[in-house]
Amino acid sequence: WQNPALKKAIPTVVSLSDEAAAMAADDWSQSSLSVVVVGASGDLAKKKIFPALFALFYEGLLPPDFQLFGYARSKMTDEEFRDLIGNTLTCRIDARSRCEDSQAAFLSRCFYCPGQYDAPEGYANLDKKCKEQEALTGKMVANRMFFLSIPPNVFVQAAGGAADNCSSPTGWTRVIVEKPFGRDSASSAELGRGLARHLTEDQIYRIDHYLGKELIENLTVLRFSNLVFEPLWSRQYIRNVQVIFSEDFGTEGRGGYFDRYGIIRDVMQNHLLQIVALFAMEPPVSLDGEAIRNEKVKVLQSMSQVALEDVTLGQYRGRSGAGRSGGADLPGYLDDATVPKGSLCPTFAAIALHINNARWDGVPFLLKAGKALHTRGAEIRVQFRHVPGNIFKHKVGPNIDMTTNELVIRIQPRESIYLKINNKVPGLGMRLDTTKLDLVYNDAYSKELPDAYERLLLDVVNGDKRLFIRDDELEQAWNIFTPVLHEIERRKVAPELYPYGSRGPVGAHYLAAKYNVRWG
Ligand code: NDP
Ligand code: BG6
């Protein structure tokens, strides 16, 4: 792994990961890498996995002897598979450059093997195909990395089939699994036991793609490498923390999946909770994957289980004549043909989380997530306490809550970090307003941000587990949400309806008001 591009291509924040990579580095002059995408005909493979692998390949970050194998039930030849992948690739890293040569080189390394997910002979064929190509590299060691990009009902069979019949005979075998990791504590534990029959914990990489987003990676840097933030990071100065996720589109086309999970399982129990864990954990002893995950587990253990009175649920309803393109109707959740009639599945939730430790006692963490809202975005908002005995409190205009500062970490889109401060309006006299100290990534950095899957796939190649969910972390995450999820289902709690494209149900404001908080 001596590629100089590795040092250049990723900005300094990620060089920490490079160090970890260097420590765990395989000697790629002696070994090859086969990446196997199980479920290669599917949406995630096309949308995220192939483009991310190509981006890494384009930047010279994959080992020289890399090849990609697709596995799924659909019948395809290698050529047809290459056409399928070819349609997903773009020259996004440098839009001005022509990357046809790289695309052709990438596609020439792609192979396809059809097979059933529960059939050992399918994986045995795959193993044969891998071995044929691996032999051509002339390398003694052939490492294999599987990405299980398939529906959860076939996770365990596929993991077993791949591990038992297609593990690398000479190098390492790593298996990436996608969420959902179960529906509650019991089903997650069952899934864990199923995987453990075939794989060691060390081999399993549970993806939460939010951990691969640039601003989430930056959270630890922001906190632990800037003297100005970490001393403020506690109940002493922080009044509340909000983690807000919104999408301006509904579950169109995914209603079947979504209805079984709902918004709490879909994004809160995983993406938003992971953000809270990274935000609130104690300083880890090092950047080592285990050190960070130890701290995340500890802070998750300090959280109370979510109480029903701390939950507001919503479901979007249709709006006629409100569509973006000239007044078409916007469908409600229940208008989706794949959603059961009368479903109570929440497409919106706001909840309050409490962390019972010395740092966060009494600070509400408010999480809000919704589909079909007025905007798309994800951000963390940190509202600070009032300045004690503020001598300027009579100098502010009517609508300014000038007694509190707010730090906003905008995860997407328009990635940025800004701090709202009180400032004197320039000129004679003494009038104050609120303004921003502002870091907009697009303005500050010329390089395009890598997609989350690029970072995460590269970490798997390097054996860096820092950004992947450990089994005890997952168990703890489910402990926090399982009782309330069961209670919602047992009591058949009806979600409050909100119009497609609105700001969500008013119940969310009542929940915030209960904690004396205004959503940012
Ligand atoms: P798909 O529904 O596209 O399924 C992937 C492939 O699995 C299909 O191409 C199909 O391949 C096979 N498949 C589909 N349904 C079944 C079934 N009932 N039984 C057996 N095989 C089936 O899934 P996605 O690609 O969207 O997602 C893959 C995984 O990633 C899922 O676990 C999903 O929850 C997760 N995920 C997806 C995201 C996304 O944006 N798509 C985002 C986050 C997570 P074939 O028929 O050729 O075998
Ligand atoms: C997925 C959820 O995990 O994350 C989807 O299943 C959601 O419902 C998606 O749309 C959001 O990811 P991103 O990266 O587009 O914010």
Alpha carbon distance 349, 5 (integer Å): 43
Could you tell me the sign of the dihedral formed by the alpha carbons of 472, 476, 479, 485, in that order?
negative
Span from the CA of 476 to the centroid of ligand 2 (angstroms)? 22
Span from the CA of 343 to the centroid of ligand 2 (angstroms)? 21
Contacts of residue 85, Cβ cutoff 8 Å, sequence gap at least 6: 46, 50, 54, 68, 70, 106, 107, 110
**Scanning the structure block, which residue is given the tokens 């970072």?**
455
Mean pLDDT of the chain: 90
What three-state secondary structure class fits 39?
Answer: coil
Q: Are 250 and 316 in contact (CB under 8 A)?
A: yes
> Best of 44, 243, 247 to mutate for ligand 2, by most ligand atoms within 8 A of CB?
247
Q: Which has the closest alpha carbon to 452: 52, 95, 180, 45?
A: 52
Is residue 26 in contact with ligand 2, taking CB distance under 6 Å?
A: no
pLDDT for the residue numbered 4: 39
> Best of 254, 257, 271, 451 to mutate for ligand 2, by most ligand atoms within 8 A of CB?
271
Q: Which two tokens stand for residue 180?
A: 């959902």
pLDDT for the residue numbered 14: 35
Q: Which two tokens stand for residue 218?
A: 């930056």
Q: Which two tokens stand for residue 40?
A: 């290669």
Give mean pLDDT, residues 220-233.
94
Could you tell me the sign of the dihedral formed by the alpha carbons of 404, 407, 412, 416, in that order?
positive
**Scanning the structure block, which residue is given the tokens 């997903």?**
88
For residue 153, the ligand 1 atom closest to its alpha carbon is: 19
Ligand in closest contact with the CA of 215: 2
| ipTM for this model | 0.97
Look at ligand 2, atom 8, and give the residue with the nearest C-alpha.
Answer: 266
Known catalytic residue at 271:
yes
End-to-end CA distance of the chain: 45
Span from the CA of 37 to the centroid of ligand 1 (angstroms)? 11
Ligand in closest contact with the CA of 182: 1
209, 271, 386, 486: which one is catalytic? Answer: 271
- Bond before 180 cis per omega within 30 degrees: yes
Give mean pLDDT, residues 1-7.
38
Contacts of residue 408, Cβ cutoff 8 Å, sequence gap at least 6: 379, 380, 381, 382, 416, 417, 418, 419, 420, 520
Name 110's bridge partners.
Answer: 68
As for ligand 1, residues whose beta carbon falls within 6 Å of it are 39, 41-45, 47, 72-74, 117, 149-152, 154, 178-180
Alpha carbon distance 302, 282 (integer Å): 12
Interhelix angle 289-301/273-280, rounded to 10 degrees, is: 100
Alpha carbon distance 450, 458 (integer Å): 11
Span from the CA of 175 to the centroid of ligand 1 (angstroms)? 16
Alpha carbon distance 456, 483 (integer Å): 31
Could you count the other beta carbons within 10 Å of the beta carbon of residue 450?
Answer: 25
pLDDT digits (tens, 9 = 90+) for 342-363: 999 999 999 999 999 999 999 9
For residue 261, the ligand 2 atom closest to its alpha carbon is: 6
6 DSSP 8-state letter: H
Span from the CA of 30 to the centroid of ligand 1 (angstroms)? 34
Higher pLDDT, 278 or 386: 278
Could you count the other beta carbons within 10 Å of the beta carbon of residue 133?
Answer: 17
Give mean pLDDT, residues 207-228.
95
* φ and ψ at residue 22, rounded to 5 degrees: -60, -35
Please return the burial class of 44, using the count of CB atoms within 10 Å of its CB with bins 0-12, 13-18 and 19+: middle
> Best of 149, 210, 456 to mutate for ligand 1, by most ligand atoms within 8 A of CB?
149
Ligand in closest contact with the CA of 73: 1
Question: Is the model's pLDDT at 475 over the cut of 80?
Answer: yes
pLDDT digits (tens, 9 = 90+) for 287-318: 888 999 999 999 999 999 999 999 999 999 99
Give mean pLDDT, residues 419-432.
91
pLDDT digits (tens, 9 = 90+) for 229-277: 999 999 999 999 999 999 999 998 777 889 999 999 999 999 999 999 9
pLDDT for the residue numbered 101: 85
* φ and ψ at residue 107, rounded to 5 degrees: -65, -30
pLDDT digits (tens, 9 = 90+) for 91-103: 776 666 678 889 9
* Residue 461, H or E segment: helix 452-462
